[in-house]
Amino acid sequence: MNVNKAIIVGNITADPELKALPSGVSVCNFSMATNEHYKDKEGNKQSSVEFHDIVAFGNLGENIARYMSKGSQIYIEGKIQKDKWEDEESGKTMQRTKIIARMAQFGSSGENAGGNSKNEVKKDYPEDEDITPDDIPF
Dist. CA 87–CA 28, nearest whole Å: 24
Q: Give me the number of domains the chain comprises.
A: 1
Q: Is residue 118 part of a domain?
A: no
In a domain, 1, yes or no: no
Is there a domain that residue 122 lies in? no
Q: Is 137 within the bounds of a domain? A: no
Print pLDDT tens along the chain (138 aa): 999 999 999 999 999 999 999 999 999 999 999 999 999 999 999 999 999 999 999 999 999 999 999 999 999 999 999 999 999 999 999 999 999 999 999 987 655 444 333 333 333 444 445 555 565 554
